[in-house]
Amino acid sequence: MTADWDRLDHDRLEEAVAAYLLDALDQDERAQLGAHIEGCPSCRALMRRLSRAVHGLPISVDDVRPPERLRERIMAAAAVTPPGQEAAVQEAPRIIALPVRPTAESPPVETSGNRLRRPRAVAYAAAAALLAAGIAALAGLAVNLNNQLQHARQPPSVSALLGTDGMAGASGRVTVFKDQDVAVVTMNGLPQLASSQVYQLWVIEPDKSPVSVGVFTPDRFGTYTVKLDRALKTGTTVAVTREDGPQGAQQPTQQPELRGTVTS
Amino acid sequence: MELEADLELGEALAAGHVRALAELYDRYGQLAYSVALRVLGDPGRAEDAVQDAFLKLWHSADRYDARRGSLRSWVVTAVRNRSIDYLRGRGAHERREREIPLDAEAQGEGSDPWNEVVTAMERQVVREALTCLPPEQRQAVELAYFAGYSHREIAEMIRVPLSTVKGRMRLALEKMHSYLQGRGLPL
């Protein structure tokens, strides 16, 4: 009698293996079947066989190329929340950086040793006056970019940075997440600097003077990413100049050779 | 080879190398987006679902075990689950425990056969396998996998006994398996 009941139970459970693989069982049923499968070779064999078909299902969908900005969104969000550090409190870096779009030969680069350095105190004060509300301390924020972007619904705007003259090979993007008051500036192909120089990033709102965001040295592939905790207005120019290090300049000493304007 | 490649990339992800995340996206981002779009039918929400899924993987990379399943399967499962959450109006915190078991595919007989680049021919054959199913079996599979309905909900929806739905699902997967195997796809 017991054997018959066991058999019935087995048959009932076995019949649910396909539903299990298709994620169609209720939680209790799922737990019960999962426990049964562990000790049942025939159900495990059935599951192995049917799972091959289930894993083919995603391949049946139309192949659609995602928008370019999706990669950028993911990389920007990941940059500020390394694995295991989503809620970590760090020493208030105002801007963090990472190499983006790494090439196949580029080595892994840690973000911690590559943070934007602040220019001299005067420049800092000037920047702070305009940007203090916007450039928030990353670790001081209760909500990280990841969470912010997870709740974003308005598509980000993406504007190009184009290099000229001495930065002719450089390019970049400004991605503005208006819903979240966040902008991410990515730069690629920046030329190597003389040892006495630094790059300096400027934000220039319409009809206003350039405001320094900070100075930085890109990695050996000329890449650098900066996150600003403010949404840049349409018409704002983002520009990069080469300045004397280590502090940079109060105002640009040359025409920006990498620049772009935020579009809506 | 696939196992080694997945193991290496999985370790780089767990170590927090953004380059590894970029590589994961470059490998599977298009497939992920295609699946999300198939489930949600809305490009904006599909982007959100893919982003959520990749960030979830990024933050839980230390839990990935290449011996239990391929990276591709890991990505697709995460994206499919998040897309279903969006579709059904569930927050991630409401998600019931319903990961498609990775170990189902990796118990001693090789891992995910669809691990690498999918050719147009393979895509076509999988589509044929689905198309060849009797309509009621295909419906049961698609309502569960692409729309996130439970077998109970499907039974109520199409007014058949629960056992019938389970039977249709099993028959559908058995037939798909046979069809794919018969055409020499890697099963």
Mean pLDDT on B119-133 = 86
A123 or B54, which is more confident? B54
> For residue range B4-16, what is the model confidence (pLDDT) as tens digits?
677 888 888 888 8
Distance CA A139, CA B58 (A): 19
How far apart are the C-alpha atoms of B35 and A191, rounded to whole Å?
A: 40
DSSP per residue, B4-47: HHHHHHHHHHHTT-HHHHHHHHHHHHHHHHHHHHHHH--HHHHH
Tokens of A29: 């049923």
Per-residue confidence band for A4, with pLDDT thresholds at 50, 70 and 90? low
Let me know whether B67 and B9 are in one domain.
yes
B152 falls in which pLDDT band (50, 70, 90)?
very high
DSSP states of A140-169 as a string?
A: T-SS-HHHHHHT--SPPEEEEEEE-GGGTT
Question: Residue B175: is its pLDDT beyond 70?
Answer: yes
What is residue B187's three-state secondary structure?
coil
Kindly state the helix (H) or strand (E) to which residue A216 belongs, with its residue range: strand A211-216
Q: What is the pLDDT, as a whole number, of residue A164?
A: 85
Q: What ipTM was reported for this prediction? A: 0.85
Query: How far does B168 lie from chain A, in Å, by closest CA?
Result: 9
Least CB–CB distance from B33: residue in A30, A56, A64: A64
Residues from chain B that touch A52, judged by Cβ atoms under 8 A, are 105, 113, 177, 180, 187
Looking at residue B50, what is its pLDDT?
96
Residue B31 lies in domain: 2-105
* Domain total of chain B: 2
Put simply, the answer to whether B144 touches A75 (Cβ < 8 Å) is: no
pLDDT level of residue B90 (50, 70, 90 thresholds): low
Window 122-161 of B: residues touching A by CB (8 A cutoff) are 122-123, 126-127, 129-130, 141, 144-146, 148-152, 154
Average pLDDT, chain A: 72
The CATH number for B83's domain is 1.10.1740.10
- pTM over 0.90, yes/no: no
Contact of A184 with chain B, judged by CB distance below 8 Å, is answered with no
Residue B145 in domain: yes
Domain boundaries, given as residue ranges, for chain A: 2-60, 68-261
**Which of A87-101, B44-58, B125-139, B152-166 is predicted least confidently?**
A87-101
**Cβ–Cβ contact B49 with A under 8 A:** no
Provide the shortest C-alpha distance from residue A195 to chain B (in Å).
Answer: 27
Measured between beta carbons, which residues in chain A are less than 8 angstroms from residue B50?
66, 70, 74
Q: How far is B143 from chain A (nearest CA, A)?
A: 9
Q: Does B27 share its domain with B82?
A: yes
Distance, CA of A116 to CA of A100 (rounded, Å): 15
Confidence (pLDDT) at B118? 63
Domain end call among B105, B138, B164: B105
How far A71 CA sits from the closest chain B CA (Å)?
Answer: 7
Q: Identify the domain boundary among B105, B139, B158.
A: B105
Give residue B17's pLDDT: 85
Of A21, A65, A67, the CB nearest to B173: A21
Closest CA to A86 of A27, A139, A21: A139
Give exposure, A20-56, as e/b (b: 16+ Cβ within 10 Å).
bbbbbbeeebbebbeebbeebeebbebbbbbbbbbbb
Are B54 and B138 part of one and the same domain?
Answer: no
